[in-house]
């Protein structure tokens, strides 16, 4: 229950966002205001405002009759998201190369060790995010990083909700190592190429998991 939260709407939004991003609330699921309010111990007013916030983030859709559904990104939206990721992450990585220290590189290696642990898709996605955050950290582009994380919220959940098999861990560990080596060597072109390949591989996976149309029968976003 979050009745004591100073900002109930923000707390409700955070709770639902986490559930959606982790794939626990799947695309097409109906979110009933009264049910959410009862579960979290709040009135329907903060739930209403929370749903409006999540709609602005592209995580839910609200139909003309005010029914709220977890959104299903359309192929067009996913394409745009991955194109933006290439631009933003590529810019951050280019700025980070040359600014890494031995300490920051050790931090990246520490995350890479986490990626070797077989703890399931959710743990892998979380560690994958930490890897790229550490790799791009020296760029000191906090707003850009936040934007990238929000973009990832929209597509990582497709993989997590799909119950698809965990990706070939050895292949991805090799990808992480190759990109790390290129960054450590301050090889800008190879780093950019490898980053693009990694993002492209995830794009192909997500595209293969998208349904023909959202479960709620709308055209998607």
Instruction: State the pLDDT confidence band at 2, using cuts at 50, 70 and 90.
Output: low
CB 159 within 8 A of CB 125: yes
What's the CATH code of the domain at 175? 1.20.120.530
Instruction: Tell me the average pLDDT of the chain.
Output: 90
Place of tokens 């049910």: 35
Structural domain harbouring 61: 8-70
Give 219 or 153, the one with higher predicted confidence: 153
CA pair distance 190, 73, nearest whole angstrom: 31
Give 197 or 7, the one with higher predicted confidence: 197
74 closest CA partner among 216, 214, 215, 217: 214
CA pair distance 152, 63, nearest whole angstrom: 24
| Single residue among 51, 70, 89 that ends a domain in this structure | 70
Give 197 or 122, the one with higher predicted confidence: 197
pLDDT digits (tens, 9 = 90+) for 171-200: 999 999 999 999 999 999 999 999 999 999
Core vs surface per residue 94-111: b (16+ CB within 10 A) or e = eebbeebeeeebebbeeb
Length of the chain, please? 221
CB 158 within 8 A of CB 73: yes
The answer to whether position 218 is within a domain reads no
Highest-confidence segment of 13-27, 55-69, 85-99 = 85-99
| Per-residue confidence (pLDDT) for residue 72, from 0 to 100 | 87
164 closest CA partner among 194, 103, 115, 208: 208
Mark whether 24 and 121 lie in a shared domain: no
CA pair distance 22, 123, nearest whole angstrom: 10
pLDDT digits (tens, 9 = 90+) for 73-109: 889 999 999 999 999 999 999 999 999 999 999 999 9
The answer to whether position 217 is within a domain reads no
The answer to whether position 3 is within a domain reads no
Number of structural domains found in the chain: 2
State the CB neighbour count (10 A cutoff) for residue 125.
Answer: 19
Mark whether 114 and 39 lie in a shared domain: no
Mark whether 60 and 107 lie in a shared domain: no
Check pLDDT > 60 for residue 217.
no
CA pair distance 130, 101, nearest whole angstrom: 17
CA pair distance 184, 3, nearest whole angstrom: 48
Place of tokens 């760029």: 139
| Per-residue confidence (pLDDT) for residue 8, from 0 to 100 | 92
CA pair distance 94, 188, nearest whole angstrom: 7
The answer to whether position 60 is within a domain reads yes
Model-level pTM greater than 0.85?
no
């Amino acid at each position: 229950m979050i009745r004591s939260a100073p900002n109930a709407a923000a707390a409700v939004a955070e709770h639902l966002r986490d559930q959606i991003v982790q794939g626990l609330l799947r695309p097409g699921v109906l979110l009933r205001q009264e049910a959410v309010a009862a579960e979290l111990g709040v009135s329907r007013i903060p739930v209403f405002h929370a749903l409006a916030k999540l709609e602005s983030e592209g995580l839910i859709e609200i139909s003309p009759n005010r029914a709220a559904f977890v959104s299903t990104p359309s192929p067009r939206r996913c394409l745009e998201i991955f194109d933006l990721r290439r631009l933003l992450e590529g810019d951050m990585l280019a700025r980070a190369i040359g600014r890494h220290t031995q300490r920051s590189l050790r931090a990246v290696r520490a995350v890479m060790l986490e990626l070797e642990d077989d703890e399931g898709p959710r743990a892998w996605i979380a560690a994958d995010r930490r890897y790229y955050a550490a790799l791009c950290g020296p760029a000191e582009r906090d707003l850009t990083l936040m934007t990238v994380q929000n973009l990832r919220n929209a597509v990582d959940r497709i993989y997590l909700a799909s119950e698809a098999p965990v990706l070939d861990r050895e292949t991805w560990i090799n990808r992480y190592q190759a990109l790390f080596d290129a960054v450590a060597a301050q090889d800008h072109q190879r780093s950019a190429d490898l980053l693009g390949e990694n993002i492209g591989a995830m794009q192909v996976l997500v595209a293969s998991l998208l349904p023909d149309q959202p479960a709620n029968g709308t055209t998607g976003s």
